[in-house]
């Protein structure tokens, strides 16, 4: 047995893209399971372990527990919860609200939703939050609802005094929030995921899509599309810059909310989901056309695991043709980026990269092109080259938050936590200053 064999099992079971999880993660998980089972870490022990994985039973689930990270905290990124509460409580006459959190980890996110809605005056009978996760251990923890100081990392902890009881074991969630949340085990890439559920008014699916391989990501997005109410919201992670959202969605709210809504009949749509925000290096003329009133020009989630979010850009206008040139002008950069994004989403990474490189030779250095080239290199598993592209994007545009978030994720994978934190702070400042265009 080698790591590749186990990686393929995990890919089939949970849709995990091993490259997104960082080098050595699966091998470390296997070693941990061998130790727990008392098996030797040699060829014989690994063969016996593979035989266990091949049998029906709990071992594959135990391995998944080792691989899946269930860390979160209350009000992780506060803006999505505020935006959710503002949007869903604006009409007091609407039917009871339904919110889905997947993956819900140990309950911090679904309980944060419940607390946000309670603080807006809703009673537990006016809304329902469903938390779904792969991990039985995480779900058992969530149902118990007792948390340590590590789960409270926001600057404003007034909600803790209002909604938690201090006990000898930690902070226990209050009865009102607990009554409004239910937890279930589930796998978003399962063909029958929540097959009998009614639509949800909001779905939190943060920092998950970036860990899935393309087929699993497509299945997950199909489920999200099916489970979302017509006027519902999807919240994604701020580092999910691989751009897996369907063209049926567009950004809602401010960039730091990382919220998306469906495009209605006759609404504007993206030509393709893979494309990140088209952002130019600081050189005139600006090529991004104005958006309709109420729309926001761009956003992200990496914010995945390579953790920046799915960003949508406005239509790109071609530069005016020079009057002295009889031939038509070259294709606008937006068209090049869209075509490269389409190729990348189909797995044609070499062709997508070639388009980006041709555009750099034709038009010169561009933060937008270097960023997309980094996304393509990363999707192809060429992480070192991707990181260099992201660095060039940041050199050209020091406040390119998506590239900063990608660099933060890369530093974290290397174990350079100081650099990761620095990039993350810079990305946060860029978003707060409203520099995402």
pLDDT at 297: 27
Cβ contacts of 368 within 8 Å, gap of 6 or more: 277, 278, 279, 280, 281, 333, 337, 393
* pLDDT tier, 42 (very low <50, low <70, confident <90, very high otherwise): confident
Q: Are strands 146-147 and 171-173 parallel, antiparallel or unpaired?
A: antiparallel
Q: What is the CB neighbour count within 10 angstroms for residue 130?
A: 21
* pLDDT tier, 323 (very low <50, low <70, confident <90, very high otherwise): very low
**For residue 77, is it left (φ>0), alpha (ψ between -120 and 50) or beta?**
left
Q: What is the CB neighbour count within 10 angstroms for residue 415?
A: 9
Q: Judge whether residue 305 has pLDDT over 60.
A: no
Chain length of the chain = 437
pLDDT at 56: 64
- The residue among 110 and 63 whose pLDDT is bigger is 110
C-alpha 314/C-alpha 275 separation (Å) is 12
Tens digit of each residue's pLDDT (9 = 90 or more) over 289-303? 333 333 322 222 222
pLDDT at 120: 93
Of all residues in the chain, what percent carry a pLDDT higher than 90? 25
pLDDT at 104: 94
How buried is residue 361: exposed, middle or buried, by Cβ count under 10 Å (0-12/13-18/19+)? exposed
User: Can the peptide bond before residue 47 be classed as cis, meaning omega within 30 degrees of 0?
Assistant: no
* pLDDT tier, 20 (very low <50, low <70, confident <90, very high otherwise): low
- Does the pTM of the predicted model rise above 0.85? no
The full DSSP string for 218-264 is: HHHHHHHHHHEEEEEEEE--TT-TT----TTEEEES-GGG-EEEE--
Question: Can you tell me the mean pLDDT for 48-59?
Answer: 78
Question: Can you tell me the mean pLDDT for 252-257?
Answer: 75
pLDDT at 211: 81
C-alpha 333/C-alpha 359 separation (Å) is 7
* pLDDT tier, 48 (very low <50, low <70, confident <90, very high otherwise): confident
Question: Can you tell me the mean pLDDT for 295-318?
Answer: 29
Q: Give 279-315+331-437's CATH code, choosing from 3.40.190.10, 1.10.10.10, 3.30.70.3290, 1.25.40.10.
A: 1.25.40.10
What interhelical angle do 417-432 and 401-414 show, nearest 10?
160
Is the distance from CB of 240 to CB of 302 less than 8 angstroms?
Answer: yes
Look at 204-218, 253-267, 293-307 and tell me which has the smallest mean pLDDT. Answer: 293-307
Look at 167-176, 323-332, 377-386 and tell me which has the smallest mean pLDDT. Answer: 323-332
Q: Judge whether residue 271 has pLDDT over 60.
A: no
Contacts 24+ apart (CB under 8 A), 48-57: 49/1, 50/1, 50/5, 50/6, 53/6, 53/9
**Which of the residue ranges 69-83, 89-103, 374-388 has the most confident prediction, judged by mean pLDDT?**
89-103
pLDDT at 2: 57
pLDDT at 306: 26
DSSP letter at 165 equals E
**Which of the residue ranges 100-104, 253-257, 377-381, 403-407 has the most confident prediction, judged by mean pLDDT?**
100-104
Is the distance from CB of 132 to CB of 141 less than 8 angstroms?
Answer: no
- In our burial notation (b when 16+ CB lie closer than 10 A, e otherwise), range 161-170 reads eebbeeeeeb
Q: Judge whether residue 318 has pLDDT over 60.
A: no
List the domain boundaries for the chain: 3-56, 78-235, 279-315+331-437
Q: Judge whether residue 39 has pLDDT over 70.
A: yes
Nearest to 404 by CA among 420, 429, 423: 423
Question: Can you tell me the mean pLDDT for 310-335?
Answer: 39
C-alpha 268/C-alpha 249 separation (Å) is 9
Question: Can you tell me the mean pLDDT for 26-37?
Answer: 86
Q: Judge whether residue 4 has pLDDT over 80.
A: no
pLDDT at 328: 38
The sheet carrying 164-166 orders its strands as 146-147, 171-173, 164-166
Tens digit of each residue's pLDDT (9 = 90 or more) over 82-132? 999 998 888 888 899 999 999 999 999 999 999 999 999 999 999 999 999
C-alpha 236/C-alpha 402 separation (Å) is 14
Is the distance from CB of 161 to CB of 171 less than 8 angstroms?
Answer: no
The pLDDT mean for the chain works out to 76
3-class SS at 132? strand
Q: Quick one: fold of 78-235?
A: Rossmann fold (3.40.50)
Nearest to 68 by CA among 13, 130, 112, 109: 13
Tens digit of each residue's pLDDT (9 = 90 or more) over 400-432? 888 888 888 887 777 777 777 788 878 777 766
pLDDT at 338: 77
Give phi and psi for 168, each to the nearest 5.
Answer: -65, -25
pLDDT at 431: 63
């Amino acid at each position: 047995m080698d790591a590749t064999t186990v990686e393929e099992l995990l890919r089939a079971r949970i849709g995990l893209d091993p490259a997104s999880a960082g080098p050595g993660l699966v091998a470390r998980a296997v070693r941990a399971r061998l130790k727990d089972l008392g098996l030797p870490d040699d060829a014989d022990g690994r063969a016996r372990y593979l035989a266990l994985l091949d049998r029906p039973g709990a071992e594959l689930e135990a391995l998944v527990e080792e691989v899946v990270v269930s860390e979160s905290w209350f009000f992780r990124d506060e803006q999505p919860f505020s935006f959710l509460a503002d949007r869903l409580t604006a009409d007091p006459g609407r039917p009871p609200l339904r919110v889905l959190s997947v993956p819900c980890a140990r309950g911090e996110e679904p309980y944060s939703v419940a607390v946000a809605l309670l603080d807006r005056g809703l009673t537990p009978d006016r809304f329902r939050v469903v938390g779904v996760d792969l991990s039985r251990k995480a779900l058992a923890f969530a149902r118990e609802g007792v948390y340590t100081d590590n789960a409270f990392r926001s600057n404003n902890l007034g909600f803790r005094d209002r909604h938690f009881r201090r006990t000898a074991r930690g902070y226990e969630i209050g009865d009102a929030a607990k009554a409004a949340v239910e937890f279930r085990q589930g796998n978003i890439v399962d063909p029958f995921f929540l097959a009998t559920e009614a639509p949800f008014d909001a779905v939190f699916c943060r920092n998950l899509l970036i860990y899935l391989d393309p087929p699993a990501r497509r299945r997950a997005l199909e489920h999200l599309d099916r489970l979302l109410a017509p006027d519902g919201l999807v919240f994604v992670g701020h580092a999910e810059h691989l751009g897996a959202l369907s063209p049926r969605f567009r950004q809602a709210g401010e960039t730091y909310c990382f919220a998306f809504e469906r495009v209605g009949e006759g609404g504007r749509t993206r030509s393709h989901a893979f494309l990140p925000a088209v952002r130019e290096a600081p050189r005139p003329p600006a090529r991004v056309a104005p958006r309709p009133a109420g729309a926001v020009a761009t956003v992200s989630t990496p914010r995945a695991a390579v953790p920046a979010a799915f960003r949508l850009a406005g239509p790109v206008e071609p530069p005016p043709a020079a009057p002295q040139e009889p031939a038509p002008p070259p294709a606008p950069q937006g068209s090049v980026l869209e075509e490269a994004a389409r190729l990348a989403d189909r797995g044609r990474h070499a062709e997508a990269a070639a388009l980006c490189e041709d555009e750099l030779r034709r038009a010169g250095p561009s933060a937008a092109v270097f960023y997309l080239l980094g996304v393509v290199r990363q999707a192809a598993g060429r992480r070192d080259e991707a990181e260099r592209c992201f660095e060039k994007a940041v050199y050209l545009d020091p406040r390119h938050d998506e590239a900063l978030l990608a660099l933060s994720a890369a530093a974290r994978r290397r174990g350079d936590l100081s650099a990761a934190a620095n990039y993350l702070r810079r990305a946060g400042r860029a978003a707060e200053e409203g520099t995402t265009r």
